[in-house]
Amino acid sequence: MSSTLTQSFQKLFRAPHPLWACEFTARRVVVAGVDRKRTRIQGRGLADLPQGADIQRPDTLRNVVEGCFREASFKGSDIAVVVPDDAARIAFITAETLPKTLEEQQTFLRWKLKKSVPFDVDTAQIAFRVLRSKKQTGHDIVVALSPRNIIEGYEALMEEFGIQAGFVVPSTLAVLSLLDPPEGDTLFVKIAPDCVTTTVFQNKQMTFYRRIAEMGLYESVYPTVLYYQDKLGGTAFNQMVVCGINHPDSSELVEKMGIPAYALEPRNVDDTYKPALGAVHLSWASLI
């Protein structure tokens, strides 16, 4: 399910999926690669970023990225780029009808999000997926938007190394490629240094996404539980899957939530590398 979800955003990014990925977080650069069967990790590397380094000042990133490539023994001419969750906006929209052509659909979705997105939606990179279509309620759609200059900045940085950024994806969408939610309702929690994202799955379908920054872990997650109960008609989550289970407050979160909690597979791989490995569609079952 989840790899299909990520594949649906290739209109925003590009296909096919490379065998290597580079993730940029608020504090680190992470590189990871897989073999051609995507069943074995070929290499990995990470490095801390200098304070204040970001894509708006690519000179602060070049040496760090080059060092990560060297540590991971990167070989190739294309790469997936995983961008911070705050570099994109992910939204859910319900529409009674949708225009017929892709261009008209994109124009319609830009218009729907114009007042709720803090950047120019008309020039933004956009991708979407129709999750469900029902005669009574219309179309449920998940949309990803990112400022064009941000995406172009990452692409340009890779080009300096002679590498094509063949696929660009927000961190949470990347890591969801490793998640195969069971029947029932699942709460997915991704803990990053600068934010917490929560994603609700009901009967294997994504129904809600939220990103919260600068709050405690439990305080970041609990509003999603309330929304799930009040707006999505949920009663009880069957499980909670956490990427970042070693966070100092994760045990408190598990205790307060009172539902079964599991680390995101593969458990024998550090969570630091999982968004990058999700972006290249690691087939993790063979690693267990």
Mean pLDDT of all residues belonging to the chain? 90
Q: Is 214 left (phi over 0), alpha (psi -120 to 50) or beta?
A: left
Backbone angles phi, psi at 286, to 5 degrees: -75, -10
State whether the Cα torsion 220-168-11-151 is positive or negative: positive
User: Domains of the chain, with CATH numbers?
Assistant: 2-84+148-172 (3.30.420.40), 86-146 (3.30.1490), 181-263 (3.30.420.40)
Q: Write the DSSP assignment of 72-139 as a string of letters.
A: HT--SSEEEEEEPGGGSEEEEEEES---SSHHHHHHHHHHHHTTTSSS-TTTSEEEEEEEEEETTTEE
Sign of dihedral through CA atoms 189, 47, 68, 71? negative
pLDDT (average), residues 268-287: 87
Confidence (pLDDT) at 287: 56
Tell me the pLDDT band of 189, cut-offs 50, 70 and 90.
Answer: very high
For residue 2, the model assigns a pLDDT of 42
The one-letter amino acid code at 274 reads K
Tell me the pLDDT tens digit for each residue of 220-238.
999 999 999 999 999 999 9
Give the integer Cα–Cα distance in Å for 129 and 208: 13
Within 10 angstroms of residue 231's Cβ, the number of other Cβ atoms is: 10
Percent of the chain at pLDDT exceeding 70: 93
Count CB atoms within 10 A of the CB of residue 238.
Answer: 14
The pTM of this model reads: 0.89
| Mean pLDDT in residue range 5-20 | 58
Q: What is the pLDDT of residue 13?
A: 40
Q: Kindly report, residue by residue over 103-157, the tens digit of the pLDDT.
A: 999 999 999 999 999 999 999 999 888 988 887 778 999 999 999 999 999 999 9
What's the pLDDT tens digit per position in 117-132? 999 999 999 988 898 8
Token pair 């079952």 is at which residue?
Answer: 285
